[in-house]
């Protein structure tokens, strides 16, 4: 696919807005397009599919971005959750991507899953719903200041934003005790994507399947 075609595909994903949009959004899109040489397409409902992965499954794609959520969808979800979504993540959902699937769900950022989603139609692509990790999968020792938004496919360990300091923390699946932290949401995205890319070759195959794809936890 030539450069002009790639740019056209990306521009369909840039929501036209006035005012400031974080610079890392463009950086993120460019990072996710690293496997564009393996193919780029759109699902029937507008999800951006990057890098065909037939070694995983016939319909698998390495990276998936979802059409941005609307302000109303975010507001409705907050009512369901009975808590607000942190501003940095709310902006990500409405201006960048309504969730994210990275390297065939080695890392998932959760989004707003509409109630009319047809799960039997594989031409449609939807993110995991935030309710799955923020409500149903919330560790028992989680506190009110923790907003869970992501998980790793390796062992379903989690990511959460702390409302008190706006940092991102990594924790085990059933224990909210922080194991690693990043100073911001954007820093986490950049560093985790680059780290995980280092575990895969140019065709999207894991270089060493014995190496866990979860974050490296600093030794105590």
C-beta separation of 211 from 175 below 8 A: no
> Which residues lie closer than 8 Å to 132 by C-beta, 6 or more apart?
110
pLDDT at 6 over 70: no
Calculate what percentage of the chain has a pLDDT beyond 70: 86
Is the residue at 147 inside a domain? yes
Q: DSSP strand E in 87-157: where? A: 100-102, 107-109, 146-152
Bridge-based pairing of strands 158-162 and 168-171 is antiparallel
Residue 40 belongs to domain with CATH number: 3.40.1580.10
Count of domains for the chain? 1
Q: Which of 132, 141, 152, 211 is nearest to 178 (CA)?
A: 141
Structure token digits, residue 220 = 């105590």
Is the residue at 213 inside a domain? no
Is the residue at 214 inside a domain? no
Angle between helices 24-32 and 185-197 (to 10 degrees): 20
pLDDT at 92 over 50: yes
State residue 18's pLDDT score.
38
Kindly report the three-state secondary structure assignment for every residue of 175-208: CCCCCEEECCHHHHHHHHHHHHHCCECCCCCECC
Q: pLDDT tens for residues 42-86? A: 999 899 999 999 999 999 999 999 999 999 999 999 999 999 999
Is the residue at 193 inside a domain? yes
State residue 218's pLDDT score.
79
Domain with 161 in it: 3-197
Average pLDDT, the chain: 89
Is the residue at 208 inside a domain? no
Is the residue at 202 inside a domain? no
pLDDT at 16 over 70: no
Is the residue at 77 inside a domain? yes
Is the residue at 116 inside a domain? yes
pLDDT band at 4 (very low <50, low <70, confident <90, very high): low
Bridge-based pairing of strands 40-42 and 48-52 is antiparallel
pTM of the predicted structure, to 2 decimals: 0.89
C-beta separation of 178 from 88 below 8 A: no
CA 180-28-15 angle, 5° bins? 130
């Amino acid at each position: 696919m030539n450069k002009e075609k790639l740019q056209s595909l990306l521009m369909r994903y840039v929501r036209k807005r006035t005012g400031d949009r974080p610079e890392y959004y463009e950086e993120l899109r460019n990072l996710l397009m690293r496997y564009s040489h393996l193919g780029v397409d759109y699902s029937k409902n507008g999800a951006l599919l990057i890098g065909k992965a037939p070694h995983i499954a016939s319909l698998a794609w390495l990276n998936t971005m979802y059409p941005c959520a609307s302000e109303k969808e975010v507001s409705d979800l907050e009512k369901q959750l009975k808590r607000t979504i942190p501003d940095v993540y709310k902006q990500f959902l409405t201006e960048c991507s309504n969730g994210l699937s990275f390297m065939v769900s080695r890392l998932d950022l959760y989004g707003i899953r509409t109630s009319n989603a047809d799960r039997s139609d594989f031409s449609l692509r939807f993110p995991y719903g935030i309710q799955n990790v923020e409500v149903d999968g919330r560790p028992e020792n989680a506190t009110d200041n923790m907003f869970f938004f992501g998980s790793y496919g390796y062992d379903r360990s989690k990511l959460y934003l702390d409302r008190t300091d706006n940092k991102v923390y990594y924790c085990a699946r059933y224990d909210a005790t922080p194991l690693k932290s990043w100073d911001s949401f954007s820093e986490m995205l950049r560093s985790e994507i680059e780290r995980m890319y280092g575990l895969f070759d140019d065709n999207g195959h894991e270089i060493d399947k014995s190496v866990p794809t979860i974050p490296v936890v600093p030794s105590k």
